[in-house]
């Protein structure tokens, strides 16, 4: 009986223990809870990636820790690259969209503000003052009441030009005329909105880009034009005298290309310092030359320097009777008239008849003669004024600027390309005793 009671107690305890919901090593949730998580598409992709990584670990339980890490690393790199590509596409689309909205959304029905970025202080202030006056004259002569001209001092440094340009942008200008120098033009272009067209006075073609046009007389184009004339004069060999400067280096590059193209031999290359007032060193270099026997001499100098250089060249044996003298637009200065060595010489320059009329009108208004660069300011402002009258928005304005027919300005015909380059038509002139006579440029 005792044994039966003991067995009964044991069975009772066993049944009690087996029915209990408590387990020593296994946690139990009392209730299954469904949680709704709201995420964007990118977050969903990340969550999916995490699940794939976990699944890969579960599916490969025998793999080592290093192998599992490699799988994770590869997947993360793939995801990172995918995300990067998506972001890049979004950025590109964003830029394209912004430009498209700008081109299609800006109307010229209201008054248009044009910034004039020129030096109004320092040693170059006289240039800025002349440009400002010619721009005012252009506004008056084109009857452009719809344009508000806002001048700002570009100063003499990159920082001052950038600050002035950014202030013009804040003032709400739709385009900027200036600055004068190429270094400032590049800095400003990189600092203000790409949707603001710029028209610089620099002659550095390397500064040209979409949205930044260079209006200065390109050394490359001038060298190409004068070499057409040199070839037309049946020149087979020549010497050159160039300044020891950045301009001289750019010109020399084009000279070597053009001389090779036309099969013209360059016998001697002489250099001079643009800061020098005494050219005795150049004269001595000419004297040391083994041979001064060449068909032509190209001199890249102007004004008093040209007179001095040509005089020394003639004195050292380069006679204009046997050697033809050639030059570029920097010869276009009445001060060189009367120099015997230059008599009969040939140079190229833009059309001058319209410039003479511009000088006359400028003098009547302001009582002084303009600086030559100010005529570029007149051309640019007149171009913008005409375009704004014909165009309803910025898109039509840019199409107007780059139309293939081109324009006639103070310096004759010119046309603009979308890449920022400007093409000019050059005329050939012959130096007489008291004037320059226009020749037909041989193409």
Mean pLDDT of 419-434: 93
Predicted confidence at residue 419, as pLDDT, reads 93
Predicted confidence at residue 98, as pLDDT, reads 43
Local structure of residue 209 (DSSP, 8 states)? B
Predicted confidence at residue 129, as pLDDT, reads 96
2 pLDDT higher than 50: no
Cα distance between residue 396 and residue 154, in whole Å: 29
Banded pLDDT at 353 (limits 50, 70, 90): confident
Q: Do 430 and 216 touch, CB atoms closer than 8 A?
A: no
Local structure of residue 390 (DSSP, 8 states)? H
Predicted confidence at residue 24, as pLDDT, reads 30
Mean pLDDT of 80-85: 45
Higher pLDDT, 72 or 215: 215
Predicted confidence at residue 441, as pLDDT, reads 53
Mean pLDDT of 103-125: 81
310 pLDDT higher than 70: yes
Predicted confidence at residue 179, as pLDDT, reads 96
Cα distance between residue 66 and residue 48, in whole Å: 22
Cα distance between residue 324 and residue 303, in whole Å: 19
Identify the architecture of domain 219-349+428-439 in CATH: 3-Layer(aba) Sandwich (3.40)
Domain extent listing, the chain: 112-216+373-401, 219-349+428-439
Share of the chain above pLDDT 90, in %: 59
Banded pLDDT at 288 (limits 50, 70, 90): confident
Mean pLDDT of 10-32: 38
Fold classified for 112-216+373-401: Rossmann fold (3.40.50)
Cα distance between residue 384 and residue 144, in whole Å: 10
249 pLDDT higher than 50: yes
Cα distance between residue 355 and residue 65, in whole Å: 82
Q: How far is CA 353 from CA 19, 333, 335, 405, 410, in A?
A: 115, 14, 18, 21, 8
Cα distance between residue 413 and residue 340, in whole Å: 32
Q: Do 138 and 382 touch, CB atoms closer than 8 A?
A: yes
130 pLDDT higher than 70: yes
Nearest to 438 by CA among 181, 428, 41: 428
Q: In this predicted structure, which of 103-107, 267-271, 405-409 has the lowest mean pLDDT?
A: 103-107
Instruction: Please report where in the chains the tokens 């200036």 appear, as a residue.
Output: 178
Local structure of residue 329 (DSSP, 8 states)? G
Cα distance between residue 245 and residue 237, in whole Å: 24
Banded pLDDT at 123 (limits 50, 70, 90): very high
Mean pLDDT of 326-344: 93
434 pLDDT higher than 70: yes
Predicted confidence at residue 79, as pLDDT, reads 43
Residue 358 dihedral angles phi and psi, to the nearest 5°: -60, -45
Q: How many whole angstroms from its chain centre is CA 305?
A: 31
Predicted confidence at residue 109, as pLDDT, reads 54
Banded pLDDT at 51 (limits 50, 70, 90): very low
167 pLDDT higher than 90: yes
When the pLDDT of each residue in the chain is averaged and rounded to a whole number, the result is: 79
Banded pLDDT at 302 (limits 50, 70, 90): very high
201 pLDDT higher than 60: yes
Q: In this predicted structure, which of 159-168, 177-186, 360-369, 432-441 has the lowest mean pLDDT?
A: 432-441
Higher pLDDT, 352 or 90: 352
Higher pLDDT, 109 or 152: 152
Q: In this predicted structure, which of 13-17, 35-39, 252-256 has the lowest mean pLDDT?
A: 35-39
Domains 112-216+373-401 and 219-349+428-439 share a fold: yes
Predicted confidence at residue 260, as pLDDT, reads 96
Q: In this predicted structure, which of 62-76, 167-181, 313-327 has the lowest mean pLDDT?
A: 62-76
403 pLDDT higher than 50: yes
Predicted confidence at residue 207, as pLDDT, reads 92
Higher pLDDT, 438 or 285: 438
Higher pLDDT, 417 or 109: 417
């Amino acid at each position: 009986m005792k044994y039966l009671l003991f067995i009964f107690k044991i069975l009772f305890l066993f049944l009690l223990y087996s029915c209990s919901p408590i387990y020593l090593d296994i946690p139990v949730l009392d209730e299954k809870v469904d949680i709704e998580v709201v995420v964007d598409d990118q977050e969903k992709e990340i969550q999916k990636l995490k699940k794939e990584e976990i699944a890969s670990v579960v599916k490969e339980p025998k793999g080592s820790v290093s192998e599992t890490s490699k799988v994770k690393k590869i997947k993360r790199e793939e995801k990172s690259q995918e995300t990067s590509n998506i972001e890049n596409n979004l950025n590109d689309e964003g830029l394209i969209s912004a430009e498209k909205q700008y081109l299609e959304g800006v109307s010229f029905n209201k008054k248009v503000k044009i910034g004039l970025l020129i030096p109004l202080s320092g040693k170059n202030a006289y240039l800025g003052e002349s440009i400002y006056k010619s721009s005012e004259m252009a506004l008056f002569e084109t009857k452009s009441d719809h344009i508000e001209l806002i001048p700002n001092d570009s100063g003499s440094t990159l920082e001052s030009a950038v600050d002035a340009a950014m202030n013009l942008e804040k003032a709400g200008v739709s385009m900027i005329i200036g600055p004068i120098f190429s270094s400032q033009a590049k800095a400003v272009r990189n600092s203000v909105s790409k949707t603001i067209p710029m028209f610089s006075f620099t002659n550095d073609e390397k500064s040209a880009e979409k949205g930044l046009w260079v209006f200065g007389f390109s050394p490359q184009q001038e060298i190409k034009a004068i070499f057409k004339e040199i070839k037309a004069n049946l020149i087979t060999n020549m010497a050159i005298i160039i300044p020891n400067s950045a301009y001289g280096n750019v010109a020399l590059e084009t000279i070597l290309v053009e001389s090779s193209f036309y099969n013209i031999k360059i016998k001697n290359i002489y250099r001079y310092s643009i800061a020098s007032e005494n050219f005795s060193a150049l004269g001595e270099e000419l004297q040391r030359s083994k041979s001064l026997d060449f068909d032509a001499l190209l001199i890249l100098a102007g004004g008093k320097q040209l007179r001095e250089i040509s005089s020394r060249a003639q004195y050292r044996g380069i006679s204009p009777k046997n050697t033809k003298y050639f030059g570029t637009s920097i010869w276009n200065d009445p001060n060189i008239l009367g120099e015997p060595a230059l008599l009969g010489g040939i140079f190229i320059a833009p059309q001058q008849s319209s410039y003479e009329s511009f000088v006359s009108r400028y003098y009547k208004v302001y009582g002084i003669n303009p600086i030559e660069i100010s005529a570029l300011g007149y051309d640019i402002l007149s171009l913008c004024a005409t375009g704004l009258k014909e165009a309803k928005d910025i898109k039509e304005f840019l199409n107007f600027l780059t139309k293939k027919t081109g324009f006639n300005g103070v310096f004759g015909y010119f046309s603009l390309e979308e890449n920022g380059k400007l093409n000019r038509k050059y005329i050939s002139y012959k130096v007489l005793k008291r004037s320059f006579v226009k020749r037909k440029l041989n193409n």
